[in-house]
């Protein structure tokens, strides 16, 4: 089993006919915490969408958690997403049910059957993000930071090989951003691999790590100056 979780070689990323990024060479290994930065409109979201199967990869080579992105078929996408945890900027929680039922919905949708095992898993992931006592609450009863913690817990449900966090602190104030970042750092220390798109440079300074930058239709590694 290789240590490489994500690899793109000479890949080009398109949004319909528009070329967004070209000659992309990226490698992420198990246990890495990697930032993806760049101004709005430089291709961060298109890059992420290609990784979880929302945009097809039509040029170059790409593999993610043992799926070939070039040959990925529509029917394979749910299986790919079971091996990925995706955290969005806007939480995407179901507002008509409480937190526990939000997580239960995902487990059932991904093939879990055993009620005891599901309850145990939900407790485990809520505990990891410091939300174990809030399972009975509805999303509207939680702060933005708490909702994002639940979204991270949801991303952990199927023990993903890679977590894709797309601007997870984008809608949060600075203090809450730091709290959410602490949760992600903790998860990373437990061996989870994380790729996080962000435009919050303060977080990069506070938690330096490998950084990729989208700029001028390219993705390249940035050497961070020590702070």
Domains and CATH numbers, the chain: 4-93+161-222 (3.40.50.300)
**pTM attached to this predicted model:** 0.92
Q: Judging by beta carbons within 10 Å of its beta carbon (0-12, 13-18, 19+), is residue 85 exposed, middle or buried?
A: buried
3-state secondary structure the chain: CCCEEEEEEEEEEEECCEEEEEEEEEEEECCCEEEEECCCCCCHHHHHHHHCCCCCCCEEEEEECCEECCCCCHHHHHHHHHCEEEECCCCCCCCCCCHHHHHHHHHHHCCCCCHHHHHHHHHHHHHHCCCHHHCCCCHHHCCHHHHHHHHHHHHHCCCCCEEEEECCCCCCCHHHHHHHHHHHHHHHHCCCCEEEECCCHHHHHHCCCEEEEEECCEEEEECCCCC
Cα 193 to Cα 164: distance, rounded to the nearest angstrom: 9
Cα 179 to Cα 185: distance, rounded to the nearest angstrom: 10
Structural tokens at position 10: 């000479």
Q: How many CB atoms lie within 10 A of CB 214?
A: 24
CA nearest neighbour of 55 among 41, 69, 35: 69
Structural tokens at position 218: 């390219």
Up-side HSE of residue 44: CA atoms within 13 Å toward CB? 22
Cα 194 to Cα 187: distance, rounded to the nearest angstrom: 9
CA nearest neighbour of 181 among 29, 33, 30, 32: 33
Sequential pLDDT tens for the chain (227 residues): 469 999 999 999 999 899 999 999 999 999 999 999 998 889 999 999 999 999 999 999 999 999 999 999 999 998 898 899 999 888 899 999 999 999 999 999 888 999 999 999 999 999 999 999 999 999 999 999 999 999 999 999 999 999 999 999 988 999 999 999 999 999 999 899 999 999 888 999 999 999 999 999 999 999 765 43
* pLDDT at position 78: 86
């Amino acid at each position: 089993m290789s240590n490489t979780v994500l690899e793109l070689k000479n890949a080009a990323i398109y949004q319909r006919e528009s070329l967004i990024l070209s000659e992309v060479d990226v490698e992420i290994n198990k246990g890495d915490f990697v930032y993806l930065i760049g101004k709005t409109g430089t291709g961060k979201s298109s890059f992420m969408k290609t990784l979880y199967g929302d945009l097809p990869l039509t040029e170059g080579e790409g593999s993610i958690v043992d799926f070939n992105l070039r040959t990925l078929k529509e029917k394979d996408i749910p299986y790919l997403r079971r091996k990925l945890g995706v955290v969005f900027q806007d939480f995407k929680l179901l507002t008509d049910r409480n937190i526990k039922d939000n997580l239960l919905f995902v487990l059932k949708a991904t093939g879990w059957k055993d009620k005891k095992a599901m309850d145990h898993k939900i407790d485990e992931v809520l505990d990891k993000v410091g939300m174990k006592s809030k399972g009975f609450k509805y999303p509207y009863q939680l702060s933005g930071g708490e909702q994002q913690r639940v979204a991270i817990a949801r991303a952990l449900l199927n023990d993903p090989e890679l977590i894709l966090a797309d601007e997870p602190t984008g809608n949060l104030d600075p203090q809450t951003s730091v709290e959410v970042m602490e949760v992600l750092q903790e998860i990373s220390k437990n061996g989870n691999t994380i790729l996080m798109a962000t435009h919050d440079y303060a977080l990069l300074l506070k938690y330096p790590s490998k950084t990729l930058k989208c700029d001028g239709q390219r993705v390249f590694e940035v050497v961070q100056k020590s702070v």
